[in-house]
Each structure stands twice: as structure tokens, then as C-alpha cells.
């Protein structure tokens, strides 16, 4: 999250920064913080994570409650989780932000998953 470590690089936004220090002004190395209740690390507040879903302004108001997949097509993709340069209100899985698929920022990334063989 945008804390005191990050704010040192953007003094004009310092008033909006959390007063805490996580020790990392930008992205943190994987697994530096405790896992969530599902045993997953770094799901919120490190980088915005792209999803496969297209974004639709009205889609989620009418979508299935369980595992909505997003509209069939669109112009922008959903990203979730906030980043090291965003405020805490964005650092939750239910918050959907969006960008064009060709957008590139140092605060937007992907999550790679390695599954153990069965």
C-alpha cells in the first residue's frame, strides 16, 4: 500500500499515505508478509493483478453471485487488488478497476500459479 516508505518518493501525495512502514517503497518480494486465510501471499496491495474478465459498467449489478465471469467481450480488462501506489480502499478483491489490455505500468502485474502434480 501507499505508506510512508512510498510517500518519500511522492511528497505531493504524502497527506494520503498510510503512516505505517512496510519496508518497501515499491513492490515487495513475494512472501514477505503473512498469508491470508486461504494460505495465499501478496494478494492485495503489491501490484494490481490482471484478470481474464472484460469490464462492464453494469455487468456486476446483474451478474451471478458466485464466480461472475464478466461480459463476453469489451474494450478494457478488469484488474484487482490495489498496488504499492494506491490507497487502502482499492486493496480488496471485490474492487474492480480497469485498463486497456495493452496498458503497462510498474504497479500492474500478473499472478503465476504453480500447482503440484496430483
Q: Where are the domains of the chain?
A: 1-118
Place of cell 478497476: 97
pLDDT (0 to 100) of residue 55: 93
Residue 43 in this model has a pLDDT that exceeds 80: no
**pTM, 2 dp:** 0.71
CATH of 1-118, picked from 3.90.1580.10, 3.60.130.10, 3.40.50.12160, 1.10.8.60, is: 3.90.1580.10
Q: From CA 61, how far away is CA 50, in angstroms rounded?
A: 21
Question: pLDDT band at residue 54, thresholds of 50, 70 and 90?
Answer: very high
Q: Strands 48-54, 108-109: parallel, antiparallel or unpaired by DSSP? A: parallel
Mean pLDDT of the residues in the chain: 86
Q: From CA 21, how far away is CA 42, in angstroms rounded?
A: 16
Length of the chain: 118
Q: From CA 59, how far away is CA 64, in angstroms rounded?
A: 10
Q: From CA 5, how far away is CA 66, in angstroms rounded?
A: 37
Instruction: Give pairs for 34-39: CB < 8 Å, separation 24+.
Output: none
Average pLDDT over every residue of 30-39? 85
Amino acid at each position: 500500500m501507499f505508506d510512508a516508505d512510498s510517500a518519500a518518493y511522492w511528497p505531493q501525495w504524502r497527506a494520503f499515505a498510510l503512516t505505517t512502514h512496510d519496508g518497501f517503497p515499491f513492490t515487495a518480494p513475494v512472501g514477505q508478509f503473512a498469508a491470508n486465510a486461504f494460505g495465499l501471499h501478496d494478494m492485495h496491495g503489491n501490484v494490481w493483478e490482471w484478470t481474464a474478465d472484460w469490464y462492464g459498467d453494469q455487468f456486476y449489478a446483474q451478474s451471478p453471485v458466485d464466480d461472475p465471469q464478466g461480459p463476453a467481450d469489451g474494450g478494457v480488462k478488469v484488474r484487482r487488488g490495489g498496488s504499492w501506489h494506491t490507497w487502502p480502499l482499492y486493496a480488496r478483491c471485490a474492487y474492480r478497476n480497469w485498463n486497456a489490455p495493452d496498458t503497462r505500468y510498474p504497479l500492474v502485474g500478473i499472478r503465476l500459479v504453480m500447482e503440484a502434480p496430483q
